[in-house]
């Protein structure tokens, strides 16, 4: 398969690229800083559709991992970068998929468990989890992080509605919000053209 990893030059992306490449898949990493790697690295700005969008046309899978590292001081500039890098890249990937003549069958989008409330009474999960940000004692920095998570997933929903049109052929699925909160995931297509998601052990 051809697997495209926007924002795939970080720790998670490198681990996924190495694993996929070892299985013989074609790997393309989209990065703001093009460097030497065992796979192709194509430049992008993570904000707008450009020449990099050609890599998505004919790809089997797109796994968008783009987002500024949150291991930093939450200065105003860093907060803007944390938010914009996630929202803008998600929108750009969605537009590129929507414009592709032969779009990927699977779009996996990184997300975050930070969207959930901090609690001790029960675990949070997709079915019964409580979204955070409204607790009276939540620290302001946590409220910011939850706001980022909400904006990120809102951008995904908006982008997916545009990209998953069905007027001119099959469009990709987007499953990673269910998978990413449990760990990394990758799709595998069987002989009938169907797609499944395999979770990688953390």
Q: Where are the domains of the chain?
A: 2-112+149-199
Query: What is the rounded radius of gyration, in angstroms, for the C-alpha atoms of the chain?
Result: 17
Among residues 60, 83, 77, the alpha carbon closest in space to that of 146 is found at 83
Given the candidates 1.10.357.10, 3.40.50.720, 3.40.640.10, 1.20.1260.10, the CATH classification of the domain at 2-112+149-199 is 3.40.50.720
CA atoms within 13 A on the CB side of 198: 10
Q: Please, what is the average pLDDT of the chain?
A: 82
DSSP letter assigned to residue 52: G
Query: Which residue is it, tokens 């490449």?
Result: 21
pLDDT tens-place string over residues 115-164: 888 888 999 887 888 888 888 888 888 889 999 999 998 998 888 877 65
Question: What's the pTM?
Answer: 0.79
Cite the beta strand spans of 11-147 per DSSP E.
26-31, 40-43, 61-64, 106-109
Mean pLDDT of 38-47: 96
For residue 34, give every residue at least 6 positions away whose Cβ sits within 8 Å of its Cβ, in sequence order, or none.
41, 42, 43
């Amino acid at each position: 398969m051809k697997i495209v990893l926007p924002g795939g030059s970080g720790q998670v992306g490198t681990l996924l690229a190495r694993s996929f490449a070892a299985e013989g898949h074609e790997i393309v990493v989209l990065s703001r800083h093009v460097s030497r790697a065992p796979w192709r690295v194509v430049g992008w700005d993570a904000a707008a559709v450009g020449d990099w969008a050609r890599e998505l046309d004919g790809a089997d899978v797109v796994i968008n991992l783009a987002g500024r590292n949150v291991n930093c001081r939450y200065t105003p500039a860093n907060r803007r970068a944390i938010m914009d890098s996630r929202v803008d890249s998600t929108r750009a990937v969605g537009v590129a998929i929507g414009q592709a003549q032969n779009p990927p069958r699977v779009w996996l989008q990184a997300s975050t468990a930070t969207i959930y409330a901090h609690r001790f009474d029960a675990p949070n999960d997709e079915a019964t989890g409580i979204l955070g940000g409204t607790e009276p004692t939540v620290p302001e920095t946590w409220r910011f992080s939850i706001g980022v998570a909400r904006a990120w997933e809102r951008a995904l929903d908006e982008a997916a509605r545009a990209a998953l049109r069905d007027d001119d052929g099959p469009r990709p699925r987007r499953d990673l919000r269910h998978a990413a909160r449990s760990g990394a995931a990758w799709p595998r297509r069987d002989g009938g053209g169907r797609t499944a998601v395999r979770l990688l052990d953390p």
